[in-house]
């Protein structure tokens, strides 16, 4: 197989599976009333805080705002937990399907040429299943790069999933801060 | 009790969530219009930085693949070019970095994805144009 068409085929396959997974997640999660309600309430709450100038300042807020924030955090945690589980199921299924479709085509053959010689640890991925020179690139590495490069941008372009605020609230630092604020 | 008031009436109006990151061209165009007076909302700023990073990764990968620039120098060149672009841009906006999470937060936004995009573009262009 011509190298150039091979690598483009992997990129196209990743693009298509990403669109399909986002479509499935949209139907299964993003369009549900509970998900949209939490996302919109969080956005409205954040705008209220920004307008009052109390965003990121726990001590200047009243009890009412704190209770509202705690309520939103609980709901976000619940919704994000459901989302993560469903995302995992859909993503693992799609990625496994794509992987198993591409592997027979590229078994033992390079998918691309690397413009650099990778160090030994990286060669485990870049040279996976290959025998030739170190600059031969395996399908595995191209597939991994496509997942890392294309998937997040496509997800953001579609704008369907959790908002940035929801994702921030699920960060371990934010959850720890929430627990510390509650104790104090 | 919720601080977010629901409109009265039998039919609740669903507020439509608008993700600023879903409009990269609009964000990139506004980024080109350097306006130190503009007050950036955090989400919009981070999304703009993200798309600037992706654009720099894509364009650097294209150029490096066409030249071709190979080896470790290409990685170093990409890192310097991309980081310098981001730094110069948000300095031109005269932002208070602490208000948006600090230098590290702003510089790290979208870096991993842009590095992957740079490598993917670089490899594809190099393979198409120079590989036998």
B contact test, residue of A73, A149, A151 with most B CBs within 10 A: A149
Q: CA-CA distance, A32 to B12, in Å (whole number)?
A: 15
Using an 8 Å CB-CB cutoff, list chain B residues near A149: 57, 113, 116-117, 119-120
Confidence of residue A171 (pLDDT cuts 50, 70, 90): low
Between CA B117 and CA B126, with CA B120 as vertex, the angle to 5 degrees is 135
Q: Is the pLDDT of residue A178 over 80?
A: no
What does the buried/exposed string (b/e) look like for B22-37 if buried means 16 or more CB atoms within 10 Å of the residue's CB?
ebbeebeebbeeeeee
How much is the pTM? Answer: 0.79
Q: Tell me: the pLDDT tens digits for B103-116?
A: 888 888 899 999 99
CA-nearest residue to B70 within chain A is A115
Percent of the residues in chain B that have a pLDDT greater than 90, as a whole number = 41
Question: Alpha carbon of A113 to those of A24, A50, A82, A100: distances in Å?
Answer: 34, 50, 41, 22
**What's the whole-number average pLDDT of chain A?**
80
Taking residues B25-50, report their average pLDDT.
77
Complex ipTM > 0.95: no
Let me know: does B66 contact B129? Beta carbons within 8 Å.
yes
- Residue B45 has a CB neighbour count (10 Å cut-off) of 23
B100: alpha, beta or left, given left = phi > 0 and alpha = psi -120 to 50? alpha
Let me know: does A128 contact A141? Beta carbons within 8 Å.
yes
Using an 8 Å CB-CB cutoff, list chain A residues near B116: 145, 148-149
A contact test, residue of B20, B22, B57, B123 with most A CBs within 10 A: B123
Question: Alpha carbon of B66 to those of A87, A155, A162, B123, B132: distances in Å?
Answer: 37, 29, 38, 10, 15
Q: Tell me: the pLDDT tens digits for A91-119?
A: 899 889 888 888 888 888 888 999 999 99
Q: CA-CA distance, A83 to A35, in Å (whole number)?
A: 9
Contact at CB, A148 and B71, closer than 8 angstroms:
no
Residue B8's pLDDT is what? 41
* Of B11-15, B24-28, B88-92, minimum mean pLDDT range: B11-15
Name the residue ranges covered by the structural domains of chain A.
Answer: 5-183
């Amino acid at each position: 197989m011509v190298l150039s068409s091979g690598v483009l085929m992997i990129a196209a396959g990743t693009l298509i599976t990403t669109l399909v997974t986002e479509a499935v997640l949209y139907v299964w999660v993003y369009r549900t009333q509970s998900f949209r309600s939490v996302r919109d309430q969080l956005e409205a709450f954040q705008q209220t805080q920004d307008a009052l100038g109390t965003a990121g300042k726990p001590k200047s807020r009243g009890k009412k705002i704190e209770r509202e924030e705690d309520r939103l955090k609980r709901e976000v945690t619940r919704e994000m937990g459901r989302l993560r589980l469903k995302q995992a199921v859909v993503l693992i299924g799609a990625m496994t399907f794509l992987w198993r479709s591409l592997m027979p085509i590229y078994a033992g053959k390079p998918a691309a040429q690397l413009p650099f010689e990778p160090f030994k640890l990286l060669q485990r991925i870049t040279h996976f299943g290959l025998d030739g020179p170190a600059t031969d690139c395996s399908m595995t590495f191209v597939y991994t790069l496509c997942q890392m490069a294309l998937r997040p941008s496509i997800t953001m372009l579609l704008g369907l999933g959790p908002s940035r605020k929801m994702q921030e609230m699920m960060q371990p630092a934010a959850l720890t801060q929430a627990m510390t604020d509650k104790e104090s | 009790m919720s601080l977010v008031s629901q409109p009265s009436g039998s039919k609740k109006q669903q507020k439509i969530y608008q993700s600023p990151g879903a409009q990269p061209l609009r964000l990139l165009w506004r980024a080109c219009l350097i306006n130190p007076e503009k007050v950036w909302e955090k989400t919009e700023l981070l999304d703009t930085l993200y798309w600037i990073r992706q654009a720099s990764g894509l364009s650097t990968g294209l150029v490096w693949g066409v030249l071709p620039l190979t080896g470790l120098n290409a990685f170093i060149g990409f890192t310097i070019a991309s980081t310098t672009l981001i730094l110069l841009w948000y300095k031109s906006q005269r932002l208070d970095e602490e208000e948006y999470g600090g230098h590290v937060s702003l510089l790290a936004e979208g870096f991993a994805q842009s590095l992957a995009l740079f490598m993917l573009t670089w490899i594809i262009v190099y393979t198409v144009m120079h590989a036998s």
